[in-house]
Structure 1
Amino acid sequence: MECLVQRHIVVRFNRKTRKITINRPNFAGGNQVYDWDDVVASVDPDDQVVTKKRKREILMLFFFKQRTGAEHHDVVFLGAPLRSDHELYALWEYIRRYMEEGPENLPKPKCIPHFPWPWRSLLAPWSFLENKWAAASWSPRMIALVIVVSPLMLVHATAHWCSLLLCWPVYWPRKLRRESTSSGAPLEHG
């Protein structure tokens, strides 16, 4: 289903212009540029409860039409599924601090490799079992389940890797590349 499309949807955070640019293929809405002040994250910054309980969550950024003036709402998913609320809050805090305070006091971000290595595709089917494995990792039932579904997971991972090989990498339009180089290196997240 994902063959012959853009490999990742990449989000660029430009601190100097206070803009967020979402790089999407034209058939999926094309590139969108939003103001930093219009973003609503899927985390509540006032929530003081940060749990380390394992679950699969993805950081989502919402752009509501009432705030952006667009004809419709927009949402973008950032990064891979995270394992806990703690990781979700940490990713959002990293992005927020980058946009509000600058990159000086932040560690270098982990970048997505340009080549789709095959072992990364193994993580896609494993994500379906990850929480169950964490709850009862070496129980006989869990080991049996992993053994039974391993061939299916291997087929899924192979298909996932092949689809990534047939996708093209993200290219930014020339205008956005110029804007980014003239105003400092932006933070990108996919």
Structure 2
Amino acid sequence: MYLIEWGFWRMATESEAARKAYETELTAAEKRAKQNFYEGDLEEDIHFQTVSEKPNARGPVFAFNDTFIEMRCGGSEEKRGLITIATLGGIVPVIGATTISTLCFLWDDITDSEARSFLMMTLTFIMALASTATLYLYSKYGVNLTRLEMLTSRHLLIRFNRVTQQVHLHRPKYCGGIVTFPWKTTGSTAIAPEDDSLSVGMRLGLVWHPSRTGLPHMEMALLGKQGQGGSELRDEWEFIRRYMEEGPHAVPRPRLSTQLPSPIQAFSAQFEGLGRFFRNSSWLFKVILLMVWPAFVIIGTGHWLSLLLCWRPRWPKVIREAGMPGKPVPPVTTLSDYPPAIQERLLANADRWQLKPGKRPEKKSRKPRRSKSKEEPAAPTE
């Protein structure tokens, strides 16, 4: 499911009217939080020093060689299958039933003159309206949601090319499309050890800020599996960093995954990030999980169906050949690579990513307030 990427791209290309409507609903505290980013924060997130002594790629990794490493992206892969179930189990049967019924009524009105009547023609008209309305509503509002996990690329991909020192993102156009960035403009969310406790259920996040890329919008990629706490995300970032900075010999060779629609991937995705939590949980929680196993089976089946109904993503030729002897280096993505209408909207929302100069000011420590009961009584005056 590409819901996070789709929503992020919609925010970057939001119309003026939609943005004003959204901002009017924000509280004063939310507006301050959106504008509370400093240049110093970016400097801390973009550095390439060692952050872990145990580099590890948690996967899925689709390719690993001397030229590039390719991994899976996607911010909500564990939820994939819900839209497929709703579409195949609800929307498609409704559209099919109304369409077939309309055609049957219409055929009877044309071929059976004896059964033709005002009532039958009225029913035919009503069924035609119902089927037309269903198709219209689905084509206008439902198709965009369906294509978040059906009839689209099977996976979002990220490729780190060590030879050209570039990072490539492969996404559908409605999620931002295929883009290329210099490796040195990449920022990571998994750098500070004090943030390790926040990695439970989170994925490794990579960001490309406009101040580094020259684009008017920020790009984001959520890699691999959900974290289970500790330093897993830092280990994964260290794996990527060492591969790009030092080469494939500096990291352990990862286990490769298939890009075919594997049922193992479909069912295992639901349990990403739960392993350590499940081992340390109480016996009552384990019993509850065993009781709801049918829900995992249903969602896993929907996930597998969504993989079957998608196609394997394919990189452009210039990216496939990047790093080979005598082949050109792929051009870095610029604003001119987007259609004029998208350029206009990206520029209109460029102020979302502006940074405040300098470093974030340190929070002032508040002195504890003394209660009145602890205050010493004043000395009596004569």
Question: 1:38 is matched with which residue?
Answer: 185
Q: Which of the two has higher C-alpha Rg?
A: 2
**Matched letter for residue 36 of structure 1:** W
Residue 167 (structure 2) aligns with: 20
Gaps of 5+ in 1: 185-190
Per the alignment, do residues 108 and 50 of structure 1 end up closer, same or farther by CA in structure 2, a change over 3 Å counting? farther
Equivalent residue number for residue 179 of structure 1: 322
| Cα shift readout 1:140-177 (whole Å, capped 9, x = no counterpart) | x2243123311111100000011011111121111111
Q: 1:85 aligns with which of 225, 230, 234?
A: 230
Please give the TM-score of this superposition, normalised by the length of structure 2.
0.43
Distance 2:273 2:157 in 1: 24
Which residue of the partner structure matches residue 295 of structure 2? Answer: 152
Instruction: Give distance in 2, aligned partners of 1:26 and 1:111.
Output: 27
- Greater mean deviation of Cα atoms: 103-112 or 168-177: 103-112
Instruction: Tell me the residue number matched to 1:188.
Output: none
| Offset at residue 123 of structure 1 (A) | 2.0
Which whole-Å CA distance do the structure 1 matches of 2:239 and 2:156 have between them?
19
What SS does structure 2 have at the residue aligned with 1:155?
A: helix
Distance change (3 Å), C-alpha of 1:128 and 1:18: closer
Cα distance in 2, alignment partners of residues 61 and 26 from structure 1: 19
Q: Label 1:108 to 1:154 Cα distance change in 2 as closer, same or farther (>3 A).
A: same
Could you say if the C-alpha distance between residues 111 and 119 of structure 1 is closer, same or farther in structure 2, counting changes exceeding 3 Å? same
What is the letter of the counterpart of residue 161 of structure 1? W
Identity of matched residues, %: 31
Distance 2:320 2:244 in 1: 19
Distance 1:53 1:177 in 2: 36
8 Å Cα contact 1:16/1:183 also seen in 2: no
Specify which structure has the higher proportion of strand.
1
Pick the aligned partner of 1:56 from 188, 197, 201.
201
Report the secondary structure of 1:6's partner residue. Answer: coil
Distance 2:152 2:193 in 1: 40
Query: Could you say which residue in structure 2 is the equivalent of 1:136?
Result: 281
| Number of equivalenced pairs | 180
Deviates more, 1:73-82 or 1:118-127: 118-127
CA distance in structure 1 between the aligned counterparts of 2:190 and 2:265, rounded to whole angstroms: 27
**Does residue 310 of structure 2 align to residue 167 of structure 1?**
yes
The answer on whether the counterparts of 2:227 and 2:272 sit within 8 Å (CA) in structure 1 is: no
Q: Which runs of 5+ in 2 are unaligned?
A: 1-82, 84-148, 328-382
Q: d(CA) in 1 for partners of 2:153 and 2:249? A: 32
Provide the alpha-carbon RMSD of the alignment.
Answer: 2.5
- From the two aligned structures, give the one with the greater helix fraction: 2
